Chain A
Amino acid sequence: MTRSAMRAFKAAFLGATIAGTSFFGPALANDGLLALQDDPKQWTMQLGDYAGIRYSELEEINAANVKNLQVAWTFSTGVLRGHEGSPLVVGDVMYVHTPFPNIVYALDLNDDGRILWRYTPQQNPEVIGVMCCDTVYRGLAYADGVLFLHQADTTLVALDAKTGDVKWSVVNGDPAKGETNTTTVLPVKDKVIVGISGGEYGVRGHVTAYNVSDGSMAWRAYSTGPDDEMLVDPEKTTVLGKPIGANSSLESWEGDQWKIGGGTTWGWFTYDPEADLVYYGTGNPSTWNPSQRPGDNKWSMTIMARDPDTGVARWFYQKTPHDEWDYDGINENLLVDQEIDGVERKLLVNFDRNGFGYTLDRLTGELLVAEKYDPAVNWATHVDMDPASATYGRPQVVAEFSTEQNGEDVNSTGICPAALGSKDQQPTTFSPRTGLFYVPTNHVCMDYEPFRVSYTAGQPYVGATLAMYPAPDSHGGMGNFIAWDATEGKIVWSLPERFSVWSGAMATAGDIVFYGTLEGYLKAVDAKTGEELYRFKTPSGIIGNVMTYEHKGKQYIGVLSGVGGWAGIGLAAGLTNANDGLGAVGGYAALSDYTALGGQLTVFALPAAN
């Protein structure tokens, strides 16, 4: 298949959304971004495109030659801690971000990666103390010459992509209350859609749209609370095909718990330009102790579809009503068009932390498939798929693994998956060529003991003690990398991994799928069979997401490595002689010198002769 034919195929596959947009009337800010997404030589969004499928049409590197891949160049970020997300490539410039302090580098691809400019935000380091899950940042966003940096302290900054100059900035939350940011933003039309983190601090989650032109707020939609603050229409917003009704959230909480009830929005946003809907998920209800918050805790743990102009919700689907396990519902929603029962459907596919892979109609929110994507999942037997049933769409919870039914201060054991989920935020990829989803997963179970906590603004509000371990009676490893058929809800192949896979995957037209491992390996596997075709050990564990681009006719693969800790195995050697030499204290001082190298971007290409 030629590249142009491939592109046409992809456009058709995505519901011809790209071709259709130009008929929508006046020029909008996202037209530029849409055009960039159609050019596989650039990587302009963290999830590759609005559909979130992280698929590239580049095919110079393919299943036959990927074994020859070599390191082309590297770049040290100079920052410690976990490196999530990926660089962007727009034109001849690569934009690299770091964890806190969220430095931005613009690298000139025409000049061996020379730094064109850097932007170093000034942030209060106290924000580090209220970030539950490391100082990660899942990366920059770009639209029409503007780079969007969303700092850990929730400051959203619009940078001129050419110069690094600040065009405007706006503050989205208050770290003093535990409100922080880890996720990327989504430019849509003339707005930029922004989430918030802090579910472990009792933050009341919301999504906010700011106007790209000047950073003024266009709308804010809370995950919980009164209808007008959630931007739901009791008649027109639907849940599983029926009107949501008045006060749907307020009636699902006891008292005012919803005000500190979580439902944060630290995951990914996707967008269907044809349907004109933005999709995202909400996180866990606060606290982790379910006995302190009776009810369904709506709308935590929910997939939301909203109009980007007004914020008004089209439909909701709550995956885990009354969460008892911290199965944050924030994972990415991939938008694809596939046949189910002989009918072409516009689908939304979500691999939830709770271990179920969901396939929904993205226009209506109709539930089509809900199956376990890890056989270890045991907290629920299944999701009720009978529309006539009173429990339609709800997971059927197993009493033994219910931390609510077992009660406070009781240790519920052997629950699968663990609170990390069968999959965390690390994004999935989809190949239109195979019709399969490639999912980096955890294969981990837990013991969970809830206890009573009281709320203090800016203090952790967790309320459970956890122990985690590899899934028992399995291969002994902590992860799998799987291929999934979302129309059937079936695993096609599964590669056991010794460690959880916390790196985002990417499929290409070369019929290969890339992902990283905690050992630091970048791996390439055959998209059809899962056979490993290539591995290379980068200097540190990989929790970043693989990306690709083409520059001057050559395809490159890039990935950030850096998990936040250097084992420094050699440091433990010869410590019996510590008094003779530098000693342990000197050794650890030297350790900090060494690890100041921090995270690294590694860029791969085929050798010139290939």
Chain B
Amino acid sequence: MRRFALLSAALAALGASPAGAVGTLNDYPTEARVEYVFGCMAVNGQTPDALRRCSCSVDVIAEILPYDDYVAAETVLGMRLAAGERATLFRGTPAATHLAAPLRRAQAEAEIVCF
């Protein structure tokens, strides 16, 4: 139960209750949340426990990061997996790393809170 205590504390620190976090304080489409949880459960298991932790994780990210920044980071990370000359624009370049970094920080935060 220590994990859930941590979660409550973190959300309290952010000035929001979990319910409020989902309903009003972020701008993520449900589709984006579901896709995140889908990937997260692919790693952590197709279980009710993983579903809860992964949902928590995307909620925390959505608290920290505006959706527009999430999309920018997602674009950079996706393009890094693409093939060809033009994908080099996204690999190891400071501008691209700068766009991806806020998501990495938010994920680290979510991992502490939810896992």
Binding site for B on A (CB under 8 A): 81-82, 131-136, 418-420, 424, 444, 466-470, 476, 478, 498-500, 502, 518-520, 537, 540-541, 563-578, 581-584, 586-587, 590-591, 593-594
Binding site for A on B (CB under 8 A): 29, 35-45, 50, 53-54, 57-58, 70-89, 93-95, 99, 103, 107, 110-111, 114-115
A563 contacts B79, C-beta separation under 8 Å: yes
Residues of B within 8 A of A470 (CB): 95
Residues of B within 8 A of A502 (CB): 86
Residues of A within 8 A of B103 (CB): 569
A565 contacts B45, C-beta separation under 8 Å: no
- Extra A-B contacts (13), CB below 8 Å, given A570-B58, A574-B44, A578-B43: A133-B84, A420-B86, A469-B95, A499-B72, A520-B75, A565-B79, A567-B75, A570-B39, A570-B42, A571-B42, A573-B54, A574-B50, A591-B42
Partner of B89, one of A82, A420, A590, A593: A420
Q: Closest CB-CB distance, B102 to chain A, in whole Å?
A: 12
* Given A135-B83, A468-B93, A498-B72, also A541-B43 (CB < 8 A): no
* Given A134-B84, A424-B86, A581-B50, also A574-B75 (CB < 8 A): no
CA distance A571 to B42 in the complex (A): 7
CA distance A253 to B107 in the complex (A): 55
Name A583's closest neighbour in chain B (CB-CB). Answer: B43
CA distance A594 to B43 in the complex (A): 12
Partner of A567, one of B41, B74, B88: B74
* Given A569-B103, A574-B54, also A541-B79 (CB < 8 A): yes
Residues of B within 8 A of A134 (CB): 82-84, 87
B72 contacts A133, C-beta separation under 8 Å: no
Partner of B82, one of A420, A563, A568, A571: A563
Q: Closest CB-CB distance, A100 to chain B, in whole Å?
A: 10
Name A470's closest neighbour in chain B (CB-CB). Answer: B95
Partner of A573, one of B45, B84, B95, B111: B111
Partner of A581, one of B45, B72, B84: B45
Closest 3 CB pairs of A and B: A565-B81, A570-B39, A590-B42
* Given A540-B78, A570-B39, also A577-B44 (CB < 8 A): yes
CA distance A582 to B78 in the complex (A): 23
Residues of B within 8 A of A419 (CB): 85
B79 contacts A518, C-beta separation under 8 Å: yes
Q: Closest CB-CB distance, B95 to chain A, in whole Å?
A: 5
A594 contacts B39, C-beta separation under 8 Å: yes
Partner of B94, one of A444, A469, A569: A469
* Given A569-B36, A570-B36, A570-B58, also A582-B44 (CB < 8 A): yes
B93 contacts A574, C-beta separation under 8 Å: no
Residues of A within 8 A of B115 (CB): 573-574, 576-577
Residues of A within 8 A of B75 (CB): 499, 518-520, 541, 567
A581 contacts B85, C-beta separation under 8 Å: no
CA distance A86 to B77 in the complex (A): 25
A594 contacts B38, C-beta separation under 8 Å: yes
A468 contacts B89, C-beta separation under 8 Å: yes
CA distance A586 to B36 in the complex (A): 17
CA distance A564 to B86 in the complex (A): 12
CA distance A584 to B42 in the complex (A): 9
CA distance A160 to B37 in the complex (A): 44
CA distance A466 to B85 in the complex (A): 10
B107 contacts A572, C-beta separation under 8 Å: yes
B85 contacts A569, C-beta separation under 8 Å: no
Residues of B within 8 A of A564 (CB): 81-83, 87
A566 contacts B43, C-beta separation under 8 Å: no
Q: Closest CB-CB distance, A158 to chain B, in whole Å?
A: 29
CA distance A563 to B87 in the complex (A): 10
Residues of A within 8 A of B41 (CB): 570
Residues of B within 8 A of A590 (CB): 42-43
Q: Closest CB-CB distance, B92 to chain A, in whole Å?
A: 9
Q: List 11 A-B contacts (CB under 8 A).
A: A133-B84, A420-B89, A468-B89, A519-B72, A563-B79, A567-B75, A570-B54, A573-B36, A573-B115, A590-B42, A594-B42
CA distance A470 to B94 in the complex (A): 10
A569 contacts B45, C-beta separation under 8 Å: no
CA distance A81 to B79 in the complex (A): 10
CA distance A586 to B107 in the complex (A): 20
Interface centre among B42, B50, B87, B94, by most chain A C-beta atoms within 10 angstroms, is B42
A569 contacts B74, C-beta separation under 8 Å: yes
* Given A133-B84, A578-B43, also A566-B78 (CB < 8 A): yes
CA distance A308 to B67 in the complex (A): 51
Residues of A within 8 A of B78 (CB): 540-541, 563, 565-567
Interface centre among A81, A470, A540, by most chain B C-beta atoms within 10 angstroms, is A470
Name A575's closest neighbour in chain B (CB-CB). Answer: B43
Interface centre among A424, A502, A518, A564, by most chain B C-beta atoms within 10 angstroms, is A518
Interface centre among A500, A520, A537, A572, by most chain B C-beta atoms within 10 angstroms, is A572
* Given A567-B74, A574-B115, also A582-B86 (CB < 8 A): no
Interface centre among B39, B58, B114, B115, by most chain A C-beta atoms within 10 angstroms, is B39
Residues of B within 8 A of A569 (CB): 36, 39, 70, 73-74, 77, 103, 107
Residues of B within 8 A of A572 (CB): 107
Residues of B within 8 A of A576 (CB): 111, 115
Residues of A within 8 A of B84 (CB): 82, 131-134, 136
Q: Closest CB-CB distance, A325 to chain B, in whole Å?
A: 13
Residues of B within 8 A of A81 (CB): 82-83
CA distance A591 to B103 in the complex (A): 19
